[in-house]
Amino acid sequence: MRNRSTPTRRQFLVAGTMVGTTALAGCSAFSSGNSEKPTLSDFRGSSPLVQDRPDPGGTSIDDLPDLSGTLTLYIGGGEGGLYQQLANLLQQYYDDFSVNVRFSAANQVLTEGKNGQVRADVFWANDAGSLGVVDDAGLTASLSSKITKQVPNRFHTNTWVGVGGRARAIPYNTKQFSKSDIPDTISEFTDTSNLDAKMGWAPTYPAFQTFVTAMRILQGEQKTKAWLKGMKNRGKGGMEQYKDEWFVSNAVADGDIGAGIANHYYAVRVISSRQDAPLDIAFTKGDAGALVDVAGAEVMKGTDKPDLANNFVRHLLSAEAQEFLATWSFAYPMIDGVKPVEQLPPLSKLHPPDLDLTKLANVQPTIDLLRQTGVLD
């Protein structure tokens, strides 16, 4: 199995375009020098995929209590830059509100908790597993029902709430396949008679390891091991390995592979930057391949600003904030009034497995399994 961690020239140029676009956005709408109150256009992304969207529904920021005071926000996960941009927009919206942002993983929060020195008022994590680890340590406070009632039950507890969803998906090359060619379950991909294609994955990437963790919980270690071996040894040279799922999706668009395994938004980001790319996504049903994980937020138990912290989390579920997450990161919004980009089916049409998302934090057995099967070195 080759590790396709080095980008092609075309992928490098596309990546540079995406980074450049984000950087330019950060220098305009998100600049600290912009004294005007942000409008919906500032919250909405600039991708060609989000043009002509209807105004979002749900509760507007204007209908929420004002944010006032200084909030310490810990952000964990790979989307931290975008999350900080949203926090900056909210800071610009209110004259008397400021945010101190620290990029910190759950382990740092746990370390501070053991020392009795948690400095954060709110922890905003990229996945439910990290939220669960902090919650299990007894470091979180109950959220107001005004917050949690807006989100489907599977995407919140009484101490954390999802603010943006990401679905596991199958990006595929439309010159090679149609959507009807893509199997309905992840287990079918080990048999090349179900999809006669070279495929790609990113086993070192955290999202992939979370997905395998879900499979291990749902189907047990032995069936998961068999699936990993079957995928590794499938026909046409097995699986191509990439360093992350954005590269997987680009490889599908380039025709280097016929299909892959990735979070949905990586393929959407490729489509956004390469609109003529022969790329689409399909979703499996009811198994780990259909997992929908969430980024979410929780209020820290030790905060001396519980009202401000709860109000901030409530703002993350406002119409404007959900529009930001749907159109900048292409996440699935968590409230009914905001739609995903039109390239995606609504969240209600997906078929995720019945799974406690907080259990996904325990990835070490998954890493051990990936090494046992030779998927990881």
Q: Which of 20-34, 39-53, 83-97, 228-242 has the lowest mean pLDDT?
A: 20-34
Sign, CA dihedral 320-321-326-329, equals positive
What's the confidence (pLDDT) of residue 22? 35
74 bridge partner residues:
102, 123
Mean pLDDT, rounded, of the chain: 89
At 124, is the pLDDT very low, low, confident or very high (cuts 50, 70, 90)? very high
> Residues near 233 by Cβ (< 8 Å), separated by ≥ 6?
none
Q: Is the dihedral of CA 184, 186, 189, 191 positive or negative?
A: negative
Q: Residue 162 CA to chain centroid, in angstroms? A: 11
* pLDDT of 12: 30
Tokens describing residue 178: 């149609």
Rounded to whole angstroms, the Cα distance separating 262 from 309 reads: 33
pLDDT at 237: 60
Given a contact cutoff of 8 angstroms between Cβ atoms, the answer to whether 232 and 1 are in contact is yes
Helix axes 245-254, 264-273, angle to 10 degrees: 50
Give percent of the chain with pLDDT exceeding 70.
90
Question: Smallest Cα–Cα separation from 200: which of 249, 166, 167?
Answer: 249
- 20 versus 185: the higher-pLDDT residue is 185
**Alpha-helix residue ranges (DSSP H) falling in 115-188:** 128-136, 145-148
* Cβ-based burial of 145 (10 A; exposed 0-12, middle 13-18, buried ≥19): exposed
Q: Where are the alpha helices (DSSP H) in 274-316?
A: 306-316
- Give the pLDDT confidence score for residue 35 in this predicted structure: 59
Q: Please report the domains of the chain, with CATH numbers, ordered by start residue.
A: 8-163+294-344 (3.40.190.10), 166-291+352-372 (3.40.190.10)
Please give the model's pTM, rounded to 2 decimal places.
Answer: 0.88
Extract long-range pairs of 188-192: CB within 8 Å, 24+ residues apart.
189/231, 189/234, 190/227, 190/230, 190/231, 190/234, 191/230, 191/234, 192/234, 192/235, 192/236
Burial code (b: 16+ CB inside 10 Å, e: under 16) for 238-275 equals ebbbbbbbbbbbbbbbbebbbbbbbbbbbbbbbbbbbe
Give me the phi and psi of 265, to 5 degrees please: -75, -20
Q: What is the dihedral of CA 205, 210, 214, 219, to 10 degrees?
A: 40
What is the average pLDDT across 113-121?
92
Per-residue pLDDT of 351-363, as tens digits, reads 999 999 989 988 9
CA distance 91 to 68: 9
Phi–psi pair at 276, nearest 5 degrees? -95, 5
- The residue whose two tokens read 């944010």 is 67
For 41, the 3-state DSSP assignment is helix
- Angle 9-27/264-273 helices, nearest 10 degrees? 90
Other CB atoms within a 10 A radius of the CB of residue 142 amount to: 14
